[in-house]
């Protein structure tokens, strides 16, 4: 039976672009799997914000990130997951152990980036990158560490903003030569830059789109088909579900404060909340009932 890494590699060989919604918790990973997507990209920002309540500025530790990834893998059967390991939590030696841990946790792929630590979201101001030669050693350590050769190493560069798109291309080529399986260019500033990177790197290219946060995003929005036409192989939507979830909670609280507390009214707003049965169905109630019927009180 093929492992998750082999399944991801098979998807990369299929024609067309691979669309990967960002996931960060049990709700999002189950929704993405139920919706029929083949792969989800664990959003480091989403995990930091939802679990810790802090922005994506390097506050989240390796242990928190790993534990969350393991839990997501445990509650989905078919969905392939790519984890986000930030900068690798140290130097090349640390990367060795980080790769082994995320591979053991059930991931198909692991991404880490060439920012300095503490890192920050790729679309925030103030990013800085480590020397490319240091990142090359991290990539080599990652490739050497994996036990399953099919486990996919994704090397991300954040160099386009602070250092220019040509530097980003040069770095991705160095990372590919060091053994990275996929390239990830973050925060590209124009459609021309995206096309330029896709044309000039030797491995499948991943980019992200900021659906729902356009006002703060540096990368112009494009459809998957438009990205496919210029050579992008994978598109990720890391903040789509986390920002949608946050907005939903904000809307529900506004109605609760205004109508229930403010006007002393009984409010029924099914448009703002998932139904009880819908929630239980999504969260595996049938599987729990099946286990209970087999082994409890029989």
Identify the band that residue 1 occupies on the pLDDT scale cut at 50, 70 and 90: low
Q: What is the mean pLDDT of the chain?
A: 94
pTM value is 0.94
With 60 as the cut, is the pLDDT of residue 131 above it?
A: yes
Hey, what are 8's tokens?
């991801």
Lowest mean pLDDT of 26-35, 114-123, 271-280, name the range: 114-123
Structural domains of the chain sorted by starting position, each given as residue range(s) with its CATH number in brackets: 4-239 (3.20.20.60), 246-295 (no CATH)
With 90 as the cut, is the pLDDT of residue 178 above it?
A: yes
* Residues 114 and 158: beta-carbon distance below 8 Å: yes
CA distance 121 to 239: 11
Higher pLDDT, 2 or 24: 24
Hey, what are 27's tokens?
């709700």
In 3D, which of 102, 70, 108 has the Cα closest to residue 86? 102
Provide the pLDDT for residue 124.
82
In 3D, which of 222, 152, 174, 157 has the Cα closest to residue 12? 152
């Amino acid at each position: 039976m093929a492992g998750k890494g082999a399944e991801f590699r098979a998807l990369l060989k299929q024609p067309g672009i691979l669309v990967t919604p960002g996931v960060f918790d049990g709700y999002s990973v189950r929704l993405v799997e139920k919706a029929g997507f083949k792969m989800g990209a664990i959003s480091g920002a989403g995990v930091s914000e939802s679990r810790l309540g802090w922005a994506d500025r390097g506050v989240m530790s390796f242990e928190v990130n790993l534990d969350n990834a393991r839990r997501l893998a445990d509650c989905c059967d078919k969905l392939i997951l790519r984890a986000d390991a930030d900068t690798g939590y140290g130097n090349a030696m640390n990367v060795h152990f980080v790769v082994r841990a995320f591979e053991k946790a059930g991931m198909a792929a692991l991404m880490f980036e060439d920012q300095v630590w503490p890192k920050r979201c790729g679309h925030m101001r103030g990013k800085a990158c480590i020397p490319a030669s240091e990142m090359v050693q991290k990539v080599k350590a990652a490739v050497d560490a994996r036990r399953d050769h099919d486990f996919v190493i994704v090397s991300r560069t954040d160099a386009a903003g602070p250092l220019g798109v040509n530097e980003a291309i040069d770095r991705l080529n160095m990372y590919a030569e060091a053994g990275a399986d996929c390239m990830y260019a973050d925060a590209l500033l124009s459609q021309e830059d995206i096309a330029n990177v896709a044309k000039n790197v030797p491995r499948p290219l991943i980019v992200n789109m900021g659906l729902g946060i356009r006002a703060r995003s540096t990368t112009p929005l494009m459809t998957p088909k438009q990205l496919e036409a210029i050579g992008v192989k994978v598109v990720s939507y890391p903040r789509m579900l986390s920002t949608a979830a946050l907005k939903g909670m904000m809307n529900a609280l506004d109605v609760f404060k205004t109508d229930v507390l403010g006007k002393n009214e009984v409010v029924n707003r099914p448009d703002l909340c998932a139904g009880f049965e819908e929630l239980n169905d999504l969260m595996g109630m049938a599987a729990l009932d099946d286990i209970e019927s087999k082994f409890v009180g029989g």
